[in-house]
């Protein structure tokens, strides 16, 4: 249960985030994109946040398989050799021709392990997840500082 003070803080945070999202280049003219369902060209509205449809992303076998996908926010896990493990990826996604309630509206797709299995979050769940990530970052920093102390003491703390 949120208090009015927390609700006001959340609204202010949402406004702050919305202010950072670029305005649509031409709000009166939605972008269009041509995709192929089988061999049949289909022109559909393209949301500003979609990264576009080239190559395989422009071809689907069934109309229900067509989906918009935004640019990914990723957090790869660094390895000592400079490479990185897959880590987590978050993207805006929408399957506009799917059945109602089946991700027909935009949502946040959160994949944590590169398996293709992803959670579908609405904006409220996405904001709550972002809050947990900030707390998680603080916890990781705390552990890194704890390790730094151990390293200074020669592995003993
Ligand atoms: Zn798209």
Residue 106 DSSP class: -
Nearest CA among 86, 53, 55, 58 for reference residue 70: 53
13 alpha carbon – ligand 1 mean position (Å): 28
80 alpha carbon – ligand 1 mean position (Å): 37
93 alpha carbon – ligand 1 mean position (Å): 9
Q: Which residues pair with 111 in a beta bridge?
A: 89
- Residue pair 111/118 in contact (Cβ under 8 Å)? The answer is yes
pLDDT, one tens digit per residue, over 11-26 is: 666 566 555 555 445 5
Q: At what angle do helices 4-20 and 123-152 cross, to 10 degrees?
A: 90
19 alpha carbon – ligand 1 mean position (Å): 23
pLDDT reported for residue 18: 53
87 alpha carbon – ligand 1 mean position (Å): 24
95 alpha carbon – ligand 1 mean position (Å): 9
157 alpha carbon – ligand 1 mean position (Å): 53
Q: Which residues pair with 60 in a beta bridge?
A: 37
- Residue pair 76/87 in contact (Cβ under 8 Å)? The answer is yes
Instruction: Provide the whole-model pTM.
Output: 0.73
pLDDT, one tens digit per residue, over 41-75 is: 999 999 999 999 988 888 999 999 999 999 999 99
pLDDT, one tens digit per residue, over 91-130 is: 999 999 998 878 899 999 999 876 778 999 999 999 999 9
pLDDT reported for residue 54: 86
Q: Please state, in angstroms and rounded to a whole number, the distance separating the CA atoms of residues 121 and 132.
A: 14
Nearest CA among 72, 53, 68, 64 for reference residue 111: 72
124 alpha carbon – ligand 1 mean position (Å): 23
Burial bucket for residue 104 (CB in 10 Å: 0-12, 13-18, 19+) = middle
54 alpha carbon – ligand 1 mean position (Å): 10
Q: Please state, in angstroms and rounded to a whole number, the distance separating the CA atoms of residues 66 and 41.
A: 12
Residue 10 has pLDDT above 70, yes or no: no
- Residue pair 58/34 in contact (Cβ under 8 Å)? The answer is yes
Percent of the chain with pLDDT over 90: 62
């Amino acid at each position: 249960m949120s208090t009015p003070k927390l609700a006001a803080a959340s609204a202010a945070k949402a406004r702050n985030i919305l202010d950072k999202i670029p305005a649509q280049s031409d709000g009166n003219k939605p972008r269009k994109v041509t995709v192929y369902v089988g061999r049949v060209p289909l022109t559909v509205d393209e949301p500003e946040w979609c990264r576009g449809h080239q190559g395989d992303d422009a071809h689907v076998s069934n109309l229900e398989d067509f989906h918009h996908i935004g640019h990914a926010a990723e957090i790869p896990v660094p390895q000592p050799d400079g490479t990185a493990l897959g880590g987590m990826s978050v993207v805006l996604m929408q399957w506009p021709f799917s059945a109602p309630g089946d991700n027909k509206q935009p949502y946040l797709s959160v994949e944590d392990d590169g398996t293709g299995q992803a959670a579908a979050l609405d904006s409220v769940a996405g904001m709550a997840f972002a809050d947990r990530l900030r707390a998680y970052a603080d916890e990781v920093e705390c552990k890194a500082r704890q390790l730094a102390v151990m390293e200074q003491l020669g592995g003993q703390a």
